[in-house]
Chains A and B, each alone.
Chain A
Amino acid sequence: EAGVVQSPRYKIIEKKQPVAFWCNPISGHNTLYWYLQNLGQGPELLIRYENEEAVDDSQLPKDRFSAERLKGVDSTLKIQPAELGDSAVYLCASSTGRGQSAGELFFGEGSRLTVL
């Protein structure tokens, strides 16, 4: 079974440029998460999808960040324009979102963003 796939693994851009990250979750996983992980810290939730609906985007900085999950499968996270403080690892995770498996997340390897 294929795991969660993210791309690109690494991205270096100059500030004020746009950037996009793509995530393909495990087949059959209805719940998809985007997390932000700063160096030396735990993941922080940006947005959670149930199928194609964003059910929790309270921590997403909507002035510059946007996300979509068309057709309820893969997802894209975009930053426009990027700022120096956006340098971090962006993690995508998926889960079945049901019952005792609700908190059992499967993570991708992450997309490391460096903003110069």
Chain B
Amino acid sequence: AQSVTQLGSHVSVSEGALVLLRCNYSSSVPPYLFWYVQYPNQGLQLLLKYTSAATLVKGINGFEAEFKKSETSFHLTKPSAHMSDAAEYFCAVSGYSSASKIIFGSGTRLSIRP
């Protein structure tokens, strides 16, 4: 069985500050891990994914995430927040098999203060 826990339903940072969105996963098989972003009134868009290659994954818009097996974590970071980063962010986990379900976390809403 697989699950994802996102710590903090709402995170607020100042423009230019570090963004850190936390995600912990549980998986009985080696996981694929994903971060998706959802802007208001839009569908989800893939930010980045981990598929067992490099543990540090770089995505779009300056975001990156590090897979830490010992901590079962896949936290999302960005060195300097921009106003356009305000959105809902979802962490997701699946197994390697194409038949694996993709399980989404409950999301973290990121607000950026001017």
Contact = CB atoms under 8 A, between A and B. Distances in A.
Interface of A: 4, 31, 40-45, 55-56, 91, 93, 97-100, 102-110
B9 A40 contact: yes
A104 B107 CA distance: 18
Given A91-B43, A91-B44, A102-B32, A43 B49 contact: no
Contacts of B45: 107
Contacts of A108: 43
B111 interface: no
> Main SS of chain A's interface residues?
loop
Interface residues of B, number: 26
Nearest to A103: B94
B44 A99 contact: no
8 contacts: A41-B106, A42-B107, A45-B102, A56-B101, A91-B43, A97-B98, A102-B94, A109-B42
